[in-house]
Amino acid sequence: MTRRIVVIGGGENAEHDVSLATAAAVAEALRSGGFDVEEVTIGRDGTWRRGQEALGSGVLGSVAGALGVIGRADAVFPAVHGPSGEDGTLAALCALTHTPMVGSGLRAGAVGMDKWTTKLVAEAAGIRTAPGRLVTAAEIAGIEFRTEVVVKPASAGSSFGVALARDASQLRDALACAARFDDRILIEDVVMGREVDVAVLREADGRRWAAPPLEIHADGLFDTRSKYDGSARFSVPAELDHGDRAALTEAALRMFDALGCAGVARIDFFLTDAGPVLNEVNTVPGMTAESQVPRMFAAAGLSYERLVARLVDAATVPGFHMSAICGAP
Condensed to tens digits (0 to 9), the pLDDT of residues 17-68 reads 999 999 999 999 999 999 999 999 999 999 999 999 999 999 999 999 999 9
Q: CA 76, CA 26: separation in Å to the nearest integer?
A: 12
319 pLDDT more than 80? no
Query: Is residue 136 domain-resident?
Result: yes
Note whether 157 and 51 are same-domain residues: no
Among the listed residues 84, 70, 76, 104, the one whose alpha carbon sits nearest the alpha carbon of residue 261: 104
**The pLDDT value given to residue 221:** 59
Q: What's the confidence (pLDDT) of residue 225?
A: 56
Output the pLDDT for position 321: 45
Residue 324 has pLDDT above 50, yes or no: no
Q: What is the CATH number of the domain that holds 19?
A: 3.40.50.20
On whether both 259 and 120 belong to a single domain, the answer is yes
Q: Cis omega (within 30 of 0) on the bond before 237?
A: yes
Residue 80: exposed, middle, or buried by beta-carbon count in 10 A (0-12, 13-18, 19+)?
A: buried
Same-domain pairing of 267 and 201: yes
Asked if residues 155 and 183 have their Cβ atoms less than 8 Å apart, the reply is: no
Q: Is residue 85 part of a domain?
A: yes
Residue 106 belongs to some domain of the structure = no
Looking at the structure, tell me whether residues 115 and 247 fall in a common domain. yes
Helix runs in 78-135, H state only: 89-96, 106-113, 115-124
What does the pLDDT look like over 7-16, one tens digit per residue? 999 999 989 9
- Both 95 and 23 in one domain: the answer is yes
Range of the domain at 117: 111-127+192-326
Q: What is the pLDDT of residues 144-177, one digit of tens each?
A: 999 999 999 998 766 788 999 999 999 999 999 9
Provide the mean pLDDT of the chain.
91
- The total domain count for the chain is 3
- Residue 80's pLDDT band (boundaries 50, 70, 90)? very high
Q: Does the pTM exceed 0.85?
A: yes
* Share of residues in the chain with pLDDT > 70 (%): 92
The verdict on residue 283 lying in a domain is yes
Q: Are residues 168 and 220 in the same domain?
A: no
